[in-house]
């Protein structure tokens, strides 16, 4: 098999994985329309309140993506913004009771569905 053929096979597997993951990641988690990316932020905030830059570092995504998701979570009432009294420019975010309820719901769904998803994914991954 040539390198080009191998790369084409890898690209096809990536496409298949993306098709399999897209409905799981993009679907609303409950009656509240929270994306998987937003769930990841809620999951970090359940542990402790933190800043945009720290969330970006922990989740390995750009600060602009985090800022967009933070804005949506704030608008939905899932998190709240807190400025430090010593430095009004520094913001940390904290999960709200509504955010905690959504986090709990999504965690239950993941606990139930993730093993099935992983089994499907294993059929696409080269060993």
Q: What is the 3-state secondary structure (H, E, C) of 29-98?
A: CCCCCCCHHHHHHHHHHHHCCECHHHHHHHHCCCHHHHHHHHHHHHHHCCEEEEEECCEEEEEEEEECHH
| CATH architecture observed for domain 3-122 | Orthogonal Bundle (1.10)
Can you tell me the mean pLDDT for 47-76?
93
Q: Virtual CA dihedral for 15, 19, 20, 23, nearest 10 degrees? A: 150
Question: What would the two tokens of residue 64 be?
Answer: 């602009």
Can you tell me the mean pLDDT for 102-111?
83
At 75, the pLDDT band (50, 70, 90 cuts) reads very high
Identify which has the larger pLDDT, 49 or 5. 49
Indicate whether 71 pLDDT > 80.
yes
Indicate whether 49 pLDDT > 80.
yes
In whole angstroms, give the CA distance from residue 121 to residue 127: 12
pLDDT confidence of residue 90? 87
At 106, the pLDDT band (50, 70, 90 cuts) reads confident
In whole angstroms, give the CA distance from residue 65 to residue 14: 23
Indicate whether 81 pLDDT > 70.
yes
Given a contact cutoff of 8 angstroms between Cβ atoms, the answer to whether 54 and 68 are in contact is no
Question: What would the two tokens of residue 55 be?
Answer: 């969330």
* Interstrand relation of 87-95 and 79-84 (parallel, antiparallel or unpaired): antiparallel
| Chain CA centroid to CA 13, Å | 22
Indicate whether 121 pLDDT > 80.
no
In whole angstroms, give the CA distance from residue 62 to residue 55: 9
């Amino acid at each position: 098999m040539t390198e080009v053929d191998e790369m084409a096979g890898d690209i096809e597997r990536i496409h298949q994985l993306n098709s399999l993951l897209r409905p799981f990641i993009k679907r609303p988690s409950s009656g509240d329309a929270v994306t998987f990316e937003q769930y990841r932020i809620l999951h970090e905030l359940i542990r402790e309140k933190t800043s945009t830059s720290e969330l970006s570092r922990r989740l390995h995504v750009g600060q602009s993506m985090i800022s967009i998701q933070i804005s949506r979570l704030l608008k939905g009432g899932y998190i709240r913004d807190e400025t430090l009294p010593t430095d009004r420019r520094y913001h940390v975010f904290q999960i709200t009771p509504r955010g905690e309820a959504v986090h709990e719901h999504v965690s239950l769904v993941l606990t139930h569905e993730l093993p099935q998803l992983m089994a499907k994914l294993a059929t696409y991954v080269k060993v």
